[in-house]
């Protein structure tokens, strides 16, 4: 175990030290994207690993991004207050949809499709209120001059890298905290058999709601962060059904039962997209998703544990 | 992506109601295909709308580009999507028949990505249409497009055909039987693999028919599936997964909500209303509008 702790420490130091020695902006930009999306995918798998397959996380991400940006532009509310409000909004949304779902035992396919409707609603509301949100053309938070801490706007990539790294680490920490908590045992029991879990004294509705709200709030935070970093959001990039599917896909490819699985998924999908974009330019439009699609089918048919998950299982079996 | 599926509705209430009914016909056709697959094979094809999208391209190419007459082009298009349905079952679903339902859902989600980007790569992201404008039928102050009327009638005919097939033929009866009890029918000597293939082809053919009808009214582009895919799922779930009659009723309820919602304010609000109605109904009647007949 000490060797493992040493490894984690060295990796953490190397990751923190990276922007001080290496400043190539494009590479840092890709790393920031990977970290933010890794955090989003980790947020999804916090609940996805217990069989609660949500196709509505695009909706939560959209709420996180749009509430933050709208408060800033229309009311001049600093993201320091706007982001917590956005997280609150996402949490409330999760309760409004989650509570009846769990209360009335909507599970499996039905849960996936109800949450799919949720991301549809968020997408349509953003599009319909185009006078405020810019509709499908997208939306830009008003820029400040230079880096302003109060507005959470920074021009240099190094700062963003460190912020994203911190948030990503926070995501992993939450994953581990859940992993070691009673909540995890309760959720595992629920995912095996809801009736048996209820008979054993687990409050099924409350436990499911806890994990869903946690996951939704984390996802909204990823959305807010993405908005502050990219300074441009559109329903296609932070909300809606395709974003929801993209989250599920990346998490499944990496492996949803291990902490770093979603991160591996983000690394693979983003590097693939960027490599194809650089290698083939506009001729590559569509090719990345074409490859994703084939990979996703192959993974589910051949490697249901995901890449990292399968590797770990194999290593454990070899021991 | 803009949900440009239902274009602009005219101002009159009655017209909106009738248009809602006409729209409901096509939705019911799509819901029937999806229900058939679910009821028999117990799998949800998330990529169903993308099969329709490929079918729309199929008709566009055979009719508008290669200039085949419609009576050859449309059966070809239906056959094409039927074959796609077969392949989908054979390659993706069959290895996953015993896997967790959610894995099947995700695998067809992968096919969704694949088909969308295949269309982007192969056909580009331009909006295309057949370039035929069917005349508009005017009754008093109301206007109905022939394309919609035709789509409604063809959808009805398609549904009646399926009904006859399911009740009057041997294989149709076998399909209905296996939908009722998966284990017993295999013991009775029914070849479930063959029935699943027939069902998949049938589901595909219905998607193909829907494609032929939709391409008469709407432009085709690689992401067109996203404009009616989610709504089809909600209809099927609202009607009770696998419940044909429930799906039929839910199609018209949904079409009216969208049509009337769009009449009183923006089109998107019609959708928001329909989606919200769906979520509310899930809480009120989780098993669907009509409970499944046993």
pLDDT band at B258 (very low <50, low <70, confident <90, very high): confident
For A124, which of B116, B272, B278 is closest by C-beta distance?
Answer: B272
B100, B117, B275 ranked by CB distance to A287: nearest = B117
Contact (Cβ atoms closer than 8 angstroms) between residue B225 and residue B116: yes
Find residue B142's DSSP bridge partners.
B139
Contact between A113 and A188 under an 8 Å Cβ cutoff? The reply is no
Q: Which of B103, B268, B282 sits opposite A106 (nearest CB)?
A: B282
C-beta pairs of A192-199 under 8 Å, 24+ apart in sequence = A194/A105, A194/A107
For residue B210, name the pLDDT band (cuts at 50, 70, 90).
Answer: very high
Yes or no: say if A157 and A230 are a contact pair by the CB < 8 Å rule.
no
Chain B residues within an 8 Å CB radius of A293: 110-117
pLDDT at B271: 79
CB pairs under 8 A between A and B: 149
Is the pLDDT at B7 greater than 50? The verdict is no
Residue numbers of A between 168 and 227 with CB closer than 8 Å to B: none
- pLDDT in the model for residue B266: 67
Mean predicted confidence (pLDDT) in B152-176: 87
Weakest-pLDDT range from A89-103, A225-239, A295-309, B85-99? A295-309
What is the ipTM, given to two decimal places?
Answer: 0.75
Question: From CA A217, how far away is CA A222, in angstroms rounded?
Answer: 9
Q: What is the SS3 assignment for A53?
A: coil
Q: Determine the 3-state secondary structure of B290 from DSSP.
A: coil
A306, B113 Cβ separation under 8 angstroms: no
CB atoms within 10 A of CB B253: 20
Please name the residue ranges forming H helices in A104-156.
108-128, 130-133
pLDDT at B8 over 80: no
Quick check: B118 contacting A, CB < 8 Å? yes
Position B109 scores a pLDDT of: 84
- Side-chain-side CA neighbours of B50 within 13 Å: the count stands at 21
Residues in a beta bridge with B143: B138
- What is the percentage of chain B residues whose pLDDT exceeds 90? 18
Region of poorest pLDDT, from A37-46, A97-106, A250-259, B140-149: B140-149
| Cβ neighbourhood burial of A194 (10 Å; 0-12, 13-18, 19+) | middle
**pLDDT score of B257:** 87
**A254 Cα to chain B: minimum distance (Å):** 14
Looking at residue B280, its pLDDT comes to 83
Contact A304 B103 (CB under 8 A): yes
For chain A, say whether B264 makes contact (Cβ under 8 Å): no
Task: Supply the pTM of this predicted model.
Answer: 0.82
Rounded CA gap, A253 and A309, in Å?
A: 9
Separation CA B125–CA A205 (nearest Å): 44
Task: Kindly state the percentage of chain A with pLDDT values over 70.
Answer: 97
CB A156 within 8 Å of CB A147: yes
Partners of residue A53 in chain B, C-beta under 8 Å? 102, 105-106
C-alpha pair distances (Å), B6 with each of B25, B128, B136, B228:
14, 17, 16, 9
Query: What pLDDT is stored for residue A89 in this prediction?
Result: 95
Higher pLDDT, A277 or A247: A247
CA-CA distance, A279 to A292, in Å (whole number)?
A: 17
pLDDT of residue B180: 79
pLDDT tops 70 at residue B166: yes
Is B102 close to A53, i.e. CB distance below 8 A? yes
Mean pLDDT computed over A103-129: 83
Give the pLDDT confidence score for residue A1 in this predicted structure.
62
Q: What is the pLDDT of residue B12?
A: 65
Contacts of B222 in chain A (CB under 8 A): 286
Per-residue pLDDT reduced to its tens digit, A25-48: 888 999 999 999 999 999 999 998
Mean pLDDT for chain A overall: 86
Measured in angstroms, the CA of B173 and the nearest CA of chain A are apart by 27
Contacts A124 to B, Cβ<8 Å: 3, 268-269, 271-272, 275
Q: Which chain A residues contact residue B47 at CB under 8 A?
A: none
* B286 touching chain A per CB within 8 A: yes
Q: Is B123 on the interface with A (CB under 8 A)?
A: no
| B238 close to B59: Cβ distance less than 8 angstroms | no
pLDDT, mean of residues B29-47: 87
Q: CB-based contacts of B188: which residues, under 8 Å, 6+ apart?
A: none
Asked if pLDDT for residue B1 goes beyond 50, the answer is no
List the end-to-end C-alpha distance of chain A, in Å, as a whole number.
15
Among A230-244, A286-300, B210-224, B258-272, the least confident range: B258-272
Which residues have C-beta within 8 Å of that of residue A9, sequence separation ≥ 6?
none
- A chain contacts of residue B120, beta-carbon cutoff 8 Å: 285-286, 289-290
Residue A112 sits at the chain B interface (C-beta within 8 Å): yes
Given a cut of 50, whether residue A68 has pLDDT beyond it is yes
A143 touches chain B (CB under 8 A): no
- Show the domains of chain A with their CATH numbers: 2-318 (1.10.3470)
Q: Mean pLDDT for chain B? A: 82
Instruction: Express each pLDDT in B11-27 by its tens digit.
Output: 467 777 887 888 888 89
| A51 CB within 8 Å of a chain B CB | yes
State the pLDDT confidence band at B289, using cuts at 50, 70 and 90: low
Q: How far apart are CA A243 and CA A61, in angstroms?
A: 9
Comparing CA positions, the residue from A252, A242, A288, A248 lying closest to residue A269 is A288
**What are A212's two structure tokens?**
């869903």
Q: List, for residues B71-113, the tens digit of each pLDDT value.
A: 899 999 999 999 999 999 999 998 888 877 777 888 888 898 8
Stretch 11-50 of chain B: residues touching chain A, C-beta under 8 Å: 44
Cβ atoms B102, A112 nearer than 8 A: yes
Interface with A, mutate which of B46, B92, B94, B109 (most A CBs under 10 A): B109
Residues A273 and A262: their CA atoms lie apart, in Å, by 16
- Residue B290: pLDDT over 70: no
Separation of alpha carbons A281 and A20, rounded Å: 31
The band of B294, judged by pLDDT with boundaries at 50, 70 and 90, is very low
Tell me the CB-side half-sphere exposure of residue B269, using CA atoms within 13 A: 10
Residue A112 has pLDDT above 80, yes or no: yes
Q: Residue A241: which of B105, B114, B226 has the nearest Cβ?
A: B226
Residue contact B113–A289, C-beta within 8 A: yes
Q: Average pLDDT, stretch B162-184?
A: 84
| Number of neighbouring beta carbons within 10 Å of residue A6 | 10
Shortest CB distance from B116 goes to which of A114, A127, A289?
A289
> Is the pLDDT score of B123 beyond 50?
yes
Residues of chain B above pLDDT 70, percent: 90
Q: Does A96 touch chain B (CB under 8 A)?
A: no
Judged against a pLDDT cut of 80, whether residue B156 lies above it is answered with yes
Question: Are B99 and A304 in contact (CB < 8 Å)?
Answer: yes
Confidence at residue B285, expressed as pLDDT on a 0 to 100 scale? 74
Q: Does B212 touch chain A (CB under 8 A)?
A: no
- Beta bridge partner(s), residue B220: B128
């Amino acid at each position: 175990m000490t060797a493992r702790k040493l490894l984690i420490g060295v990796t953490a130091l190397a990751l923190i030290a990276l922007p001080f020695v290496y400043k190539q902006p494009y590479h840092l930009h890709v790393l920031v994207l990977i970290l933010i999306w890794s955090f989003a995918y980790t947020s999804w798998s916090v609940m996805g690993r217990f069989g609660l397959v949500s196709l509505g996380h695009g909706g939560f991400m959209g709420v996180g991004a749009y509430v933050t940006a709208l408060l800033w532009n229309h009311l001049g509310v600093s993201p320091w207050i706007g982001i917590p409000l956005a997280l609150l909004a996402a949490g409330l949304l999760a309760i409004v949809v989650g509570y009846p779902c769990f209360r009335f035992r909507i599970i499996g396919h039905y849960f996936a499709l109800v949450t799919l409707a949720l991301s549809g609603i968020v997408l349509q509301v953003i599009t319909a209120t185009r006078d405020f949100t810019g509709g499908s053309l997208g939306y830009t938070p008003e820029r400040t001059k230079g880096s302003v801490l109060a507005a959470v706007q920074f021009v240099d990539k190094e700062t963003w890298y460190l912020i994203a790294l911190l948030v990503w680490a926070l995501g992993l920490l939450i994953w581990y905290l859940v992993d070691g908590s009673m909540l995890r045992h309760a959720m595992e029991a629920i995912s095996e058999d809801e009736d048996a879990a209820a008979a054993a004294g687990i409050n099924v509705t409350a436990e499911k709601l806890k994990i869903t709200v946690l996951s939704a709030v984390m996802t909204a935070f990823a959305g807010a962060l993405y908005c502050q970093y990219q300074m441009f959001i559109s329903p296609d990039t932070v909300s809606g059904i395709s974003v929801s599917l993209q989250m599920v896909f990346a998490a499944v490819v990496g492996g949803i039962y291990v902490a770093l699985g979603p991160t591996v998924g983000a690394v693979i999908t983003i590097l693939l997209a960027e490599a194809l974009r650089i290698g083939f330019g506009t001729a590559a439009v569509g090719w990345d998703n074409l490859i994703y699609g084939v990979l996703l089918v192959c993974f589910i048919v051949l490697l249901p544990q995901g890449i990292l998950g399968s590797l770990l299982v194999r290593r454990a079996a070899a021991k | 992506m803009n949900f440009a599926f239902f274009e602009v509705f005219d101002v009159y209430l009655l017209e909106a109601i009738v248009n809602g009914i006409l729209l409901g016909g096509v939705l019911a056709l799509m819901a029937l295909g999806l229900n058939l697959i679910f009821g028999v094979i117990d799998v949800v094809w998330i990529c169903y709308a993308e099969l329709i999208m490929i079918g729309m391209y199929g008709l566009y190419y055979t009719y508008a580009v290669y200039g085949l007459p419609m009576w050859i082009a449309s059966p070809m298009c239906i056959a094409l999507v039927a074959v796609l349905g077969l392949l989908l079952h054979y390659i993706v679903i069959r290895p996953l028949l015993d896997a967790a339902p959610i894995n099947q859902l995700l695998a067809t989600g992968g096919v969704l990505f694949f088909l969308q980007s295949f269309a982007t790569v192969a056909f580009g992201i331009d909006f295309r249409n057949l370039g035929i404008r069917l005349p508009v039928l005017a009754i008093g102050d109301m206007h109905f497009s022939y394309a919609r009327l035709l789509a409604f009638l063809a959808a009805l005919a398609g549904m009646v055909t399926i009904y006859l097939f399911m009740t009057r033929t041997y294989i149709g009866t076998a399909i209905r039987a296996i939908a009722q009890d998966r284990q017993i029918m295999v013991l009775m000597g029914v070849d479930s693999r063959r029935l699943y293939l027939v069902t998949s082809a049938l589901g595909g053919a219905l998607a193909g028919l829907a494609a032929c009808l939709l391409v008469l009214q709407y432009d085709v582009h690689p992401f067109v599936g996203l404009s009616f895919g989610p709504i089809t799922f909600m209809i099927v779930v609202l009607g009770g997964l696998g419940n044909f009659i429930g799906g039929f009723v839910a199609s018209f309820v949904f079409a009216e909500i969208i049509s009337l919602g769009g009449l009183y304010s923006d089109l998107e609000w019609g959708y928001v209303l329909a989606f919200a109605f769906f979520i509310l109904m899930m809480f009120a009647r989780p098993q669907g509008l009509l409970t499944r007949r046993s």
